[in-house]
Structure 1
Amino acid sequence: MATARETVYTTLRERIVDGDLHPGQRLVERDLAAELQVSRVPVREALGRLEAERLVVLVPRQGVLVSPFAPQDVSDFFDVRESLEVLAARLAAARVDDAGRARLQAALTRADEVTREGDARAIALANAAFHTAVVELSGNALLIDMMRPLEARMRWLFRLTHYDPEQQCAEHHDLYAAVAAGDADGAAAQALRHIRSGRERSVERAAGWAAVDPVAATRTRRRRP
């Protein structure tokens, strides 16, 4: 049975990733505790964990905001993805076996299914799961540990940018083909192409997500600026 702290953390994390709590929005600890029917302790602990994942910003002596995810933040995120996910794709292709191919194929099939259904939340979840599978198939424990905290931000980015889901699936199929064939150079090239295809649009759209001064925003009791 999940503890109160786990339930609160998971609930807030999903609400941020799904866009229910939007970038720049004020989070009031007391209000959240009342809404979730818990004490303020698990809320405070959950916000601390979310800060470590960079999903919220804690302004000292002021309050908490959902991370603004400004254009520079998005650009920095893509810099990291272009390095770590490309390496993961290369290693996955070099080390892939039948079980790995089956796992990637299952993730790809799931993404295809939800894309046809048009469920935006499920699409973001399935596409992020495909990327996670590639990383885990790299077999590099340090790389996997480095990428794990970024999974939520990846899903969040997918939801905020509204990528063309059919284009995403097509690019994932290309990446899968290279990994499944054991083509390390091809997999790295496909991963880089896929990540870069959404970079410019994501950075441009980020300008409208949270044009907010964190300190100024925390000076109001309103949860929705």
Structure 2
Amino acid sequence: MSTARETVYATLKERIIEGDLHPGQRLIERDLAAELEVSRVPVREALGRLEAERLVVLVPRQGVLVSPFTPQDVADFFDVRESLEVLAARLTAQRADGNGLAALRAVLDQADEATRRRDARAIALANAAFHTAVVALSGNALLVDMMRPLEARLRWLFRLTHYDPEQQCAEHHELYQAIAAHDSDAAADQVLRHIHAGRARSVELAATWTAVDPVAATRTRRRRT
């Protein structure tokens, strides 16, 4: 895989997640190529990968847009999380061994340190990584595959919403304790309450994120095959 392709993909993905490219913003292939000093081929390939992760959307006659993240998009995202992450927490509490718990604890420590530094980017990265680690430790390969395309969108959500980092850490520690105790019911209940707590505020904030008419863009979102 070419270095240029990977560099362009990583750069654009980071700019979207960090908010430098905002929801609904149009991305012009030739301009991105000129800015990044590459040909249009790696830009086109990177945009294809980002579309698969639902970070950009191809809109007929408009080109490529950073995906709108509308209130309905956020509600749909939380519906999925409240189902799949609850299952992941339950399975992880049943199956996590000492090595898995140590890995999960290490991610918690990273989040604690980022919170102490008030490093917003590192906080979002570590907190999203904690959720990803819980899924990875579930031991269910199909569940891991289903959640993998949502990892970038989860971090993006954390960056757009600016959750209270101390509260996030506290709730993650409670989830970790339930998992470490191998209490699957408590782990499932804790992660459900944790995810649901941020739902209403996230849906409300989503109305302010998109700079273009999201309805026009999302109507055509599923046309591409």
Q: Into which bin does the TM-score normalised by the smaller protein fall? A: over 0.9
Q: 1:178 to 1:46 in 2, by over 3 A?
A: same
> Does the CA contact (< 8 Å) of 1:132 and 1:151 recur in 2?
yes
Measured against aligned partners, the alpha-carbon deviations of 1:115-155 in whole angstroms (never above 9, x if no partner) come to 01001000000001111110000000000011111000000
Match in the other structure for 1:10: 10
- Structure 2 alignment gaps of length 5 or more: 218-225
Q: Paired residue for 2:84?
A: 84
What secondary structure sits across from 2:212 in the alignment? coil
- State percent identity of aligned pairs: 82
- 1:96 is aligned to 96
- Relative to structure 1, is the Cα distance of residues 215 and 129 closer, same or farther in structure 2, using a 3 angstrom cutoff? closer
User: Is residue 2:136 matched to residue 1:133?
Assistant: no
Give the equivalent residue in structure 2 for 1:109: 109
Contact kept, 8 Å, 1:65 with 1:214, in 2: the verdict is no
Q: 1:174 to 1:216 in 2, by over 3 A?
A: closer
Retained in 2: the 8 A contact 1:29–1:43? yes
- 1:3-48 alpha-carbon deviations (Å, 9 max, x no partner): 2111111110111011111111111101100010000011011111
Report how many residues are paired.
Answer: 217
Mapping of residues 22-37 of structure 1, within 5 Å: 22-37=22-37
Question: Structure 1 segments of 4 or more deviating over 6 A?
Answer: none
Could you say which residue in structure 2 is the equivalent of 1:168?
Answer: 168
Stretches of structure 1 lacking an aligned partner (at least 5 in a row): 218-225
CA shift digits 1:154-191 (9 cap, x unpaired): 00000000000000000000000000100000000001
Q: TM-score, normalised by structure 2?
A: 0.93
RMSD, matched Cα: 1.4
Q: TM-score, normalised by structure 1?
A: 0.93
Report what 2:203 is aligned to. Answer: 203
CA contact (8 A) 2:4 2:42 kept: yes
In structure 1, distance between residues paired with 2:123 and 2:71: 23
Q: In 2, are the aligned partners of 1:89 and 1:191 still within 8 Å (CA)? A: yes
What is the CA–CA distance in structure 2 between the aligned matches of 1:54 and 1:132, rounded to whole Å?
Answer: 17
Give the Cα–Cα distance (whole angstroms) in 2 for the partners of residues 213 and 71 of structure 1.
13
**What does residue 75 of structure 1 align with?**
75
Shift of 1:215: 8.9
Post-superposition CA distance 1:178-220 (Å, at most 9, x none): 0010000000000100000100000000001015226979xxx
Given that 1:17 and 1:156 are in contact with CA atoms closer than 8 Å, whether structure 2 keeps it comes out as yes
Distance in 1 (CA, whole Å) between partners of 2:49 and 2:3 is 15
Equivalent residues in 2 for 1:55-74, closer than 5 Å: 55-74=55-74
Structure 2 CA distance for aligned equivalents of residues 2 and 17 of structure 1: 23
Instruction: Tell me the residue number matched to 2:40.
Output: 40
Give the deviation of 1:60 after TM superposition.
Answer: 1.7
